[in-house]
Structure 1
Amino acid sequence: MLFLSACTPSNSAPPKPAGPLTAAEALGDLATVDFCSLLGTAGTNGSFGSCQVTADGTTTTVGSPAKDTEPTAKPYDYRGQLPAGVTVEQSSFDAKQSCTRYVVFADHVRLMVSAFDSGEGDAKPNCGKADAAVGAVLTAATGKRVTHVAYPENSLGRIDPCELLSGDAADTALGKGSTPSAFTVDKHSCLRSGVKVSFDRGKPETTGTKVTVAGKPATESRIAAFCFLRVERPAPGAEGKVESAAFEAVDTATGVADDRTCAEARKVAEFVLPKLPS
């Protein structure tokens, strides 16, 4: 795989755009980017908003484009060549076996690049792999190698949850005291009434308690302060994968999710699920 062929970022200068490189120019429509194409593995059916590639015990993840301030990010002296207007930051919140970088474009959109080893080693080797992945991302972005996914007509990948959470019907069901806000800039997740709504594609969920929400089979999981509701269906055009609608609520008062926390997630799920294609 292209980005795993080197342990250090490339020192060869990528093609230079005419001016500061924005995410819009480098990646195009963020809602349809095949993030696996940034790692040289296009068409391997990544999730809607990211791509994971595992090789030699290390999982490299690229994606989760966001525009808000990342509190764990700090400056990083990246040794490779950078296009005009692009910077690289590092995370100060890495676990022992992980290493995370952020590629920040001129329009302040940041792309997460991380390398994680499930073994007992330290993060230093993974930081070399994370930097190599940053180099692969920049090469793809400046070399016009970014490809896009044409989601089928009934795919959740075509739906912006913020649109479903807007309007008079949403105000009536969820209350007028809140407004939807995009959780990421790829239009696959949204926050309203304290509940995060996310559409994604990946492997089937194997944990959680089986429940029924809006007449659909779902799973419910409570982890620390969070309650997660998840509804799945076969992913059109991606054999062995599922598309999911997930609803995440958090208890900020006690730090422990309870029935009231899950009721908040369920309320939003009961409004959204009937509006999704079958």
Structure 2
Amino acid sequence: MLSNSRYIFVALCSAFAVTGCATTPEPAPASPPDADPLTASAALGDFTNLDYCSLLDLPSVAGGSAVAEPPAASFEQCRAVVTDNGAKLAVVIGPVSSGADPNMKPYEAYQRGALPDGVSVQQSTFEAQQLCTRLVTFTDGIRLTLSVADQDKPTSTEIRCGKADAMVAGALAAVAGKRVGRLTFSEHSLGRVDPCSLLSGHELDAASGAGTAPSPGLTGHSCIRGKVSLALSVDDANVQGEAEKIEGRTARRSTEGAFCTIWTDQPAVGAPGRVERAKISVVDVEGKGGEEMCGAAREAAGIVLPRLPKP
């Protein structure tokens, strides 16, 4: 089972039920001869409000099995859970990313229809014993991640990767059919926040490191400045971590490896049992360990948290 620290599954919109018999998705039509190579922005639009759930053909992925958890949209992903012979599998689309990935390998066995001009499909070797990952790479080098992971019982590579291939076909069909949807954010949603604006200013020089500057994530919902990172998401409500008060907000703290992380939650409008989350992490780059970074994490949180919208 994959650790929560590696896969953060989040939800913003109300979950919706999926019914009906599973069928093989219609393959995406081939690009007309005079079509330009397909870029990620042309296919998916604005990444900041992309509804990843609109790319998920869950009946085809389930393949006639039950849906244990219906799709839930987030700022950067869509997650659902299906079953296969009693085993639960997490189905996740997103996020979009770019840059080098040492785990990414060619995948020439994809056989679920012609690919649009400029689009290719790769596979990932990351944790392949319990996870099957496909990457749809557009002509501009930006890629969409689609994965199927064992949740509670081991399944076979054939089962996981068959579902992952179905996810690719469904996503490309949604793009071709112009069915890519958009998220809407409530007035005080963290989805409206520019995280890099919260990491600007000299107040964070000590925590982040002198001479550092904010660098935004591709989706617009995360930012890194030196040793400090800020991620805005939606997650299941939980009470993990040590509770503390920071600048009037209830926050929680945890350490893992070289990281100390502090986060605060607020209700996710229209999503019972879910919360919007602002997570500040500081990484140790000197071999001291994450616990030694908690002072800097509290300092950064004391600057960032008061700047968040009040729910």
- What TM-score, normalized to structure 2? 0.80
Counterpart CA distance in 1 for 2:38 and 2:225 is: 32
Match runs of 1:82-231 below 5 Å: 82-118=115-151, 119-167=153-201, 176-182=210-216, 184-231=217-264
Counterpart CA distance in 2 for 1:33 and 1:150 is: 9
Indicate the residue corresponding to 1:64 in structure 2: 95
Contact in 2 for aligned 1:52/1:59 (Cα 8 Å): yes
Q: SS at the partner of 1:202?
A: strand
Q: SS at the partner of 2:48?
A: coil
**Does the C-alpha gap of structure 1 residues 35 and 96 become closer, same or farther in structure 2, counting only changes over 3 Å?**
same
1:12 aligned residue (27, 32, 38) = 27
Contact in 2 for aligned 1:11/1:79 (Cα 8 Å): no
Indicate the residue corresponding to 2:297 in structure 1: 265
Q: SS at the partner of 1:68?
A: coil
Match runs of 1:225-240 below 5 Å: 225-240=258-273
Aligned length: 272
Contact in 1 for aligned 2:71/2:80 (Cα 8 Å): no
Q: SS at the partner of 1:242?
A: strand
Describe the superposition over 1:38-84 as per-residue Cα deviations: whole angstroms up to 9, x where unpaired: 1047x954221001011111111001111222221111112232111
* CA shift for structure 1 position 166: 3.0
Counterpart CA distance in 2 for 1:127 and 1:134 is: 10
Counterpart CA distance in 1 for 2:276 and 2:176 is: 31
Q: SS at the partner of 2:212?
A: coil
Unaligned runs of 5+ in 1: none
Contact in 2 for aligned 1:224/1:255 (Cα 8 Å): no
Indicate the residue corresponding to 1:36 in structure 2: 53
Unaligned runs of 5+ in 2: 1-17, 59-69
Contact in 1 for aligned 2:280/2:301 (Cα 8 Å): yes
Contact in 1 for aligned 2:72/2:80 (Cα 8 Å): no
Amino acid at match of 1:276: L
**Does the C-alpha gap of structure 1 residues 126 and 44 become closer, same or farther in structure 2, counting only changes over 3 Å?**
closer
**Does the C-alpha gap of structure 1 residues 167 and 160 become closer, same or farther in structure 2, counting only changes over 3 Å?**
same
Indicate the residue corresponding to 1:46 in structure 2: 73
**2:275 corresponds to 1:275:** no
Contact in 2 for aligned 1:15/1:143 (Cα 8 Å): no
Contact in 1 for aligned 2:28/2:176 (Cα 8 Å): no
- Give the stretch that moved more between structures: 65-74 or 129-138: 65-74
Amino acid at match of 1:62: I
Describe the superposition over 1:150-178 as per-residue Cα deviations: whole angstroms up to 9, x where unpaired: 11121100112012223566569856510
Describe the superposition over 1:87-109 as per-residue Cα deviations: whole angstroms up to 9, x where unpaired: 11111212421111111111211
- Give the stretch that moved more between structures: 118-127 or 216-225: 118-127
Amino acid at match of 1:52: R
Query: Identity over the aligned pairs, expressed in percent?
Result: 40
* CA shift for structure 1 position 15: 5.4
Counterpart CA distance in 2 for 1:64 and 1:87 is: 17
Counterpart CA distance in 2 for 1:124 and 1:269 is: 44
Amino acid at match of 2:240: T
